[in-house]
Amino acid sequence: MNRTPDALADLGRFSEPALLLLVSLADGPKHGYAMTQDIQRVSGQKLGPGTLYGAIARLESRGWIEPLPAEDRRRPYRLTGAGQRVLRVRLASLRAVTRVGQSRLADV
């Protein structure tokens, strides 16, 4: 993958669902329904099926997640090495934003 590690932002309106999806897959493979449940538990957001599969398709096309053999009609996905790098960079960036934001709020 020749993309820059922070290319998650290029996904436009899918960048946030994609980030949540990568986070959900960080602790192991999951299929669509398990991902929506996990994301709802972690973030309180319920991803619609169109948004979820839109994000899955974009992440898969970039090689950041990959499908595993289907189990009945459900197909689990797992994070690839490239996906893990993208997630690390993004989370580090968010952590930096959080730090700055919190320090600025503390100054108010």
Partner 1 sequence: MTKTAGPVRVARALVRLYPPAWRVRYGKEMLALLDESRPGWSSAVDLAFALAGEWVQALVGWRWPEEGRLRLSGLVEMLLVTAAGAGTALLALPAASWLGRDLPFPIPPFDSAFAVYVLAGVRLLLCPTYRRSENRRRWAIGRVELALWTAAIFASSFEIESGRLSATHALLHSYASHTGWEVGLVGLRGGGTLQLLGLGIERQWRRNRRIFELQDMTKAVAATAATQAPLGL
Q: Give the torsion through C-alpha atoms of 76, 81, 83, 86, to 10 deg.
A: 160
Give the bridge partners for 30, in sequence order: 77
DSSP string, 57-94: HHHHHTTSEEE---BTTB--EEE-HHHHHHHHHHHHHH
User: Judged by CB under 8 A, which of 3, 4, 78, 94 binds partner 1?
Assistant: 94
Q: Is 69 in the site for partner 1 (CB under 8 A)?
A: no
- Each residue 4-23 as x (binds partner 1 by CB under 8 A) or -, in order, gives -----xxxxxxxx--xx--x
Which parts of this chain interact with partner 1 (CB under 8 A)? Answer: 9-16, 19-20, 23-24, 26-27, 31-33, 36, 39, 42-45, 48-54, 56-57, 70, 72-75, 84, 87-88, 91-92, 94-95, 97-98, 101
